[in-house]
Amino acid sequence: MALIEIYTTTTCPYCVRAKKLLDQKDCVYTEIDVSFDAELRKSMTEKAGGRTSVPQIFINGAHIGGCDDLYALNKAGNLDPLLG
């Protein structure tokens, strides 16, 4: 089973959409809410190569990107192999 981390905020519709896709695939993931924690957001930004938007998604330590990137991987048929 893949190790999935998703950095989110409480009011982000793209975060909801990304989690919905992961839920549809019965994935277990760790959600890290950066809404009110500047240090967590800074850590996310560094880990994501400077990207500051949410969600930021990591699968097995690899940076996948945001919601659109996740859906593009799925559409191309490349998400399921990453999920194991």
Q: 25-61 burial, b if ≥16 CB within 10 A, otherwise e?
A: eebebeebbbeeeeeebeebbeebeeeeebbbbbbee
What is the predicted pLDDT for the residue at 10?
95
pLDDT tens figures, 39-74: 999 999 999 999 999 999 999 999 999 999 999 999
The rounded distance, in Å, linking the Cα atoms of 6 and 24 is: 15
Average pLDDT over residues 26-49: 97
Residue 1's pLDDT band, with cuts at 50, 70 and 90, is: confident
Task: Kindly report the CATH class assigned to 4-83.
Answer: alpha beta
% the chain with pLDDT above 70 = 100
Sequence spans of domains, the chain: 4-83
- Over residues 74-84, the mean pLDDT reads 97
